[in-house]
Structures are given as structure tokens and as C-alpha cells.
Structure 1
């Protein structure tokens, strides 16, 4: 009697597979393939930790780097190192089936050693705000949390489109974004913060500089004469960093009182909260535009 084996075979073919090979292309243009959705993930950047939580896959994180402090649950994840390097033995011991890495923010030589362990690595190299929801979608594929990823990515894209639509055709505002104090540092047009400025109809006064995070001086800021000076660094930046520019009343931003301090981390992390930072930046730009 052949009908029982035949029926069984048909049932197996018709039944949904619990696990299936998954693959995506990362920002290196390389395909990352897994035999099944990732269930033991190590994040090598705070914003990638946020990404994984945002799509609903935070429960799969078994390791993260220093400063992975959002959401609150991220603080309980075992640490595997920080910006200066990783504990490779710790990473090996955690038996990850996926590592998510920041291409421009992690030490290349250590990433090479991690890849030598044979662990699949997904690289994020977001350069625009529009890249962020794409990363969320890809991580959703790798973890099987496609519904949560689609929801988080869709919300990000909708808010981004609203910013662009609201500020389309508005008069540009010249902005200086201060990254650091000593040495004085800013960003050029290729850095993602400049893309946030573009959504607000703002112009980065140091956009043409060749370095991604160039070092400048007070004289350069005086010459650029921005209409708005912004920083989002932590404690002290609002009073000390922005207070420093009050010594130069000839700068238009100072003369008009347009010195803005945005919440820390929102514009410095390339994760889902960056849209919050972009909205806060646009509010500051709108205020500077109205002060003309």
C-alpha cells in the first residue's frame, strides 16, 4: 500500500518550514547567509543594539558593546568590548550565530579576526537617513522578525518623508554642527548628520571639507558665519561649548541667539532614534529661519 508514504510525503511538502535558509546583502555588497533565523546575536555598536530591539528581536541578543544602554533592557546584556577592541574569547564563548557590526566604527583588524572564526557578520555602513530603515528590514530577514522590522522601518520612513515634505522649498539655513570641543571638530557633507540637515532645508557650512569629521578652529567658524550653531554632546556642552561662542557676537548665530543643544545620542547613533534627532534638529533650524 503506497498511499500512506505518498500522503506523508505530500504533507511534509505542504507543511510550513520552521526554519529555512535566510540571506541578505549587507552594506559591503556581500551576501550574509544563515541556515536558520539568528537566535544568538552579538551587536558591536550601540545603534545596532537599538536596531535589534526596535524590530522586536532583542531577546536574541547574547552580547553587546559598551554604551549599549537603550532601551533599558540592553544594559543587562553581557559586554564583549567597546570602541577600542573586543574580547574575542568572550565572543567565541557566547556561541553567536550572527554578529552585527558597524563598518566605519569598529576596528577593521578585529573584525577580520572575528570573520576568521567563521561567524557570519552583517555590516552596517549607513550614510543617509534613508539607509536606516533598510538596515531594519535586513535585520528582520536575518532574525525572522519581518513583521516587527516592517513596522519599525515603515514608521521611520513615514516620519522622514514628513520632514522632507514639510521643509521642501524653504529658504536654506547655514548650520555649524559641533562634534567636539578640543580639538574643535565638525562633520562634512558625507556624514549622516549632514543628511539630517538636508531634510530640514539646512546647509552644512563645512560640508565641502574632505575629511568625514574634520578638525577646524575658531577663525574658520567666524569666516563661515553660520546662522545656527548646534551640538548634541552630553553634560557640559550646552553651557561650556555653546557658551564659548558667545565671545563672538559677530557670528550671526550668536547675534540672533541661535545656539542649540539637542538631546545626546539622537544624532550620533545611526539607529531608529535618529529620526527623533532629525526632528529636533529641524525644529532648531525652523527657529533660526524665523529669527531672520
Structure 2
């Protein structure tokens, strides 16, 4: 019996089956997603799932394509009827940034909801891996996240031995609001070796008055600004020349969107901030 033709036929059938299996895997339907915050939208685009987003909330404006996603609410209220119409396979919600009663209602209606609540750079990495996996983009998510972690490690290493400089972080001008422990921006100050005189305040975002700032001998003022921010004037620092940072014109204005959105861009913002601080330090 000549078994050579049988082997060739078997090999051919196996090749066809593998090709069909590969085609099926490549064309597996990925879940449609409603992403309920700008940072979640940005994360999903970063891991390759941006085209799966069928609804989002106000202010989701990055990347540029995100501006075309239908809006189904904001941080105050979600349009439950619109969510029902869209019938997403998955809802990714911001645990502290979306109305809890609306989320509870959506859960009661049977929608699958997962939550985002990043408090640190490492949380960004953890969430990106998870979102990439549930959205069907595990490989790209792992690649992007690993690069993010490597870059973070390098930045931390570059500045860990720098001489600290006393800085004031102006989160908002009216009323004058800064940051403290457990706030998102505090990790930027820690990594860039900026001593925050208000770090130990128990409220993450305390309101302060200028009389509290003056005695702190602040050497640097960090005043993040955003092009979309209505209050672009900031605090009237030039009136307070008694503060060393003001007298020496050591006021920097980094991009607020990069600093305050918990995404890959925040790491670029960290690197830029540390470089600016280093110039002031020198």
C-alpha cells in the first residue's frame, strides 16, 4: 500500500483546518463597550479597542477619534434609555466618577459592568492589562503595558537621588486648592522629588489660603493648565513677591490633561514635569 498520498492528503487537510481556525480566531466578535469616562476611553484606544466603544460621557476628547463617540451622559447623570438602546456587551465605569444610582440601575437591568479606579501609575498598568484582555486585545495590552512599566521604572530611577525642592501644587485658583496624600498628583511630586508642605493634610484636595502658603518658603509653584479649562488666569501669584518661587519667577505650567488623566499620557507628563523641576533645581 502506498501511504505517501495519504500523508500528503492528511497534511493538506491539517493545513486547511489550521487556516480556518486562524481565520476564526482573527474574526472573533469582540465586545461592544460603553466607556464611562475620558480616561477609560483613552485606555481602550491605547490597547486597540477604541473602535469597539459605542458610547461615552462628556469630555472624552482624546484621541481625536473619541470626539465622534455618542455621548450618553456625564458625571452627574447617565441616559439609561440610551444605554438600553445601544445594548453594549460591556460597560466600563469609573467607580468614583459616575453616578452610583445609575450604575446600580444598569446592573439591575442585567448589564455587565466592570469598574475603573486607578490611584497610582501601577494601577494604570493593572487596569490596561485587564481591559485589553476583556476587550479581546490581550497581546497588544501586554506589549503596551510592559513598555509603560519599563518607562516608569526608568523615570523613578533617574530622579530618586535628586535633591528635594519645596513646591506648591495649584490644582485650582478660586478657591485656592492644592493636593495632599492620597491625591492623584501627589505621586508626581514624590517621584520628581518635590516636597509638598501640605502633603500630610488628611483631605486629598485641601483648600488653603495664601497666609498658609507664605511661611512654607515655596521654591517652585506648579500651576497645571488645560486649553479646555475656563479659568485660565490662575492665582494672582505676582502680588505675593514674598514667596521665593514668585520672586524668582519659578512658576511652571504643565499640561493639566496629561497630568490629571490616568492614562499612558500621564507618564509622558511625569517625565516632562520632572525635567522642568530639574531645571528649577539646578
Q: TM class by shorter-chain length?
A: 0.7 to 0.9
**Residue 198 (structure 2) aligns with:** 206
Runs of at least 5 residues in structure 1 that lack an aligned partner in the other structure: 1-10, 20-35
Q: How does 1:46-195 map to 2 (within 5 A)?
A: 46-195=38-187
SS in 1 for 2:264: coil
Tell me, in whole angstroms, the C-alpha distance in 1 between the residues paired with 2:266 and 2:30: 25
How far did residue 264 of structure 1 move?
3.0
Tell me, in whole angstroms, the C-alpha distance in 2 between the residues paired with 1:123 and 1:137: 14
Tell me, in whole angstroms, the C-alpha distance in 1 between the residues paired with 2:225 and 2:135: 33
Could you say if the C-alpha distance between residues 91 and 280 of structure 1 is closer, same or farther in structure 2, counting changes exceeding 3 Å? same
Tell me, in whole angstroms, the C-alpha distance in 1 between the residues paired with 2:215 and 2:83: 49
**Residue 261 (structure 2) aligns with:** 269
CA contact (8 A) 1:63 1:79 kept: yes
* Structure 1 residues 181-210: Cα deviation after superposition (integer angstroms, max 9, x where no partner): 111111112112111221112222211111
**Which structure would you say has the larger Rg?**
2
Tell me, in whole angstroms, the C-alpha distance in 2 between the residues paired with 1:51 and 1:239: 27
Tell me, in whole angstroms, the C-alpha distance in 1 between the residues paired with 2:204 and 2:51: 35
How far did residue 224 of structure 1 move?
2.6
SS in 2 for 1:176: strand
How far did residue 225 of structure 1 move?
2.8
CA contact (8 A) 1:38 1:97 kept: no
How far did residue 248 of structure 1 move?
1.1
CA contact (8 A) 1:238 1:261 kept: no
Could you say if the C-alpha distance between residues 18 and 220 of structure 1 is closer, same or farther in structure 2, counting changes exceeding 3 Å? farther
CA contact (8 A) 1:226 1:252 kept: yes
Whose strand proportion is higher, 1 or 2? 1
How far did residue 17 of structure 1 move?
11
SS in 2 for 1:267: helix
TM-score by length of 1: 0.83
SS in 2 for 1:82: coil
Tell me, in whole angstroms, the C-alpha distance in 2 between the residues paired with 1:223 and 1:111: 45
SS in 2 for 1:285: helix
How far did residue 54 of structure 1 move?
0.3
**Residue 251 (structure 1) aligns with:** 243
Tell me, in whole angstroms, the C-alpha distance in 2 between the residues paired with 1:256 and 1:238: 24
Whose helix proportion is higher, 1 or 2? 2
